Amino acid sequence: MHWAWIVLKKELTEVLRDRRTLLAIGLAALATPLVLFVVSQVSSRTATQTYTVGYSGDIPTGLDILLRATGLALEAVPDPAAAARLQVDLGVSFRPGEIDEYYDPTRQSAQIADIRLQTILGQYDAAQAAAALKDRGIDPGILTPLKLVAHPLSSPVKAASNAFLSFFLPYILITMILTGGFSAALDSSAGERERRTLEGLLLTPAPRSQLLLGKIAAITIVSLAAAVVAIGSMFVALTQISLPGSGAASNHITLSPTAVPVMVGLALLIAFSFSSVTLALGTLAKSFRQGQAYVTPLYFVTILPASIILFIPDFNPSLAYYLIPILNAVLVLRDAIVHDSVSWPALTVTTISLLATGALSWVAALRLFTREALLTK
């Protein structure tokens, strides 16, 4: 371990003096709050924005007041269908006993205006029916013979918060661990070959396994630092930003106590595996640029499982799926965030899978690092 420690210290010294790596970590710290701010602003604007309804005919009594109250401005137009193509967000033709609606589903503003119109019309119809029944001396309660009383088992605000974190946190964690260590890994492998320092390093009495261990440890630390910076800045930003669905501004997003140790453990395992893989791929390259070409596909291989929660929020696979690296970490972390609990069989399979991935990556890196072709090709 003595030699590995020497290599680790030297590699970290170089990283701290490397503008590329520091810039990557700095951007990670800035990018997450920036993305959250933009998402928050867009969502807030969408929720409060007024959309225009171009109409023709006579508006039923009282409906105009309800529409304006929900952010739908009314504008009289001669041809609602034509107006809905460009001029307004929604076109409506009021006729006796019928309302014709015209909208372009490819426009987000038209979709939102449509939802608002449908909601208001539903409420308006119910109110009209209730008033008609009351006029005839009939209890309007017959319209709702079964009254639904909802009892949410957790705070809706917390649920929204968890839903957001269950996608965003694993994604940030995995992509930052991967990309945060890219530069350091390539500099430490392909960079050594390109600078012609590798031969001198291999000429020392230090065992190659120790040299490799020192390098992997350094890359792991840099990767974790990048992830900590990105996630830290994300939580700082979340204390300042009100996210859609979080309701009152004072309801900030927080991480469940169970998720924290799970996240730390998974991050360590993933970082070690990624460091070994990127170092092994970098060792195949003769230059930093060539190394980038080798390592970049790794990003695309990991991005899909890392973002699966976005596509399938309720993805609940069998235990066998937890053997798939990255996907397993995302699922375990999601469960810890959403349910504030850990499925021990799933966590065990995930840990074994990630340990095996790390061990295989280590063996591959060591084999590549000790082959003669490293110096002769």
Evaluate whether 336 touches 256 at the Cβ level (below 8 Å): yes
CA angle, 306 then 231 then 222, to 5°: 85
DSSP state of 249: T
Which span (1-9, 57-65, 141-149, 150-158) binds other proteins, by CB under 8 A? 1-9
Q: Is 204 in the site for other proteins (CB under 8 A)?
A: yes
Which of 137, 145, 152, 205 binds other proteins (CB under 8 A)? It is: 205
In the chain, what's the furthest Cα-to-Cα distance?
Answer: 100
Q: Is 287 in the site for other proteins (CB under 8 A)?
A: no
What 3-state class would DSSP assign to 341? coil
- C-beta closer to other proteins: residue 6 or 120: 6
Closest approach of Cβ 199 to other proteins, in Å?
7
Which of 199, 232, 240, 296 binds other proteins (CB under 8 A)? It is: 199
- C-beta closer to other proteins: residue 63 or 201: 201
Q: What tokens were used for 59?
A: 């508006």
DSSP E strands in 278-373: the ranges are none
Q: Is 18 in the site for other proteins (CB under 8 A)?
A: yes
Question: Using CA atoms in the order 286, 287, 289, 293, what is the torsion angle rounded to 10 degrees?
Answer: 20
Q: Is 197 in the site for other proteins (CB under 8 A)?
A: yes
Which of 53, 77, 113, 198 binds other proteins (CB under 8 A)? It is: 198
Question: Using CA atoms in the order 260, 265, 269, 275, what is the torsion angle rounded to 10 degrees?
Answer: 50
DSSP state of 238: H
Q: Is 296 in the site for other proteins (CB under 8 A)?
A: no
Q: Is 151 in the site for other proteins (CB under 8 A)?
A: no
Burial of residue 146 (number of CB atoms within 10 Å: 0-12, 13-18, 19+): exposed
Q: Is 104 in the site for other proteins (CB under 8 A)?
A: no
Evaluate whether 72 touches 94 at the Cβ level (below 8 Å): no
Which span (144-152, 191-199, 227-235, 247-255) binds other proteins, by CB under 8 A? 191-199
Closest approach of Cβ 275 to other proteins, in Å?
20
* Measured distance CA(251)–CA(166) in Å, rounded: 17
Binding residues for other proteins, how many (CB under 8 A)? 24
CA 105 from chain center: how many Å?
A: 26
In the block, tokens 């520091």 appear at 22
Q: Is 148 in the site for other proteins (CB under 8 A)?
A: no
Which span (4-12, 79-87, 142-150, 319-327) binds other proteins, by CB under 8 A? 4-12
Q: Is 119 in the site for other proteins (CB under 8 A)?
A: no
Q: Is 286 in the site for other proteins (CB under 8 A)?
A: no
Residues in the site for other proteins, rule: CB under 8 A? 3, 6-7, 10, 13-14, 17-18, 195-207, 372, 375-376
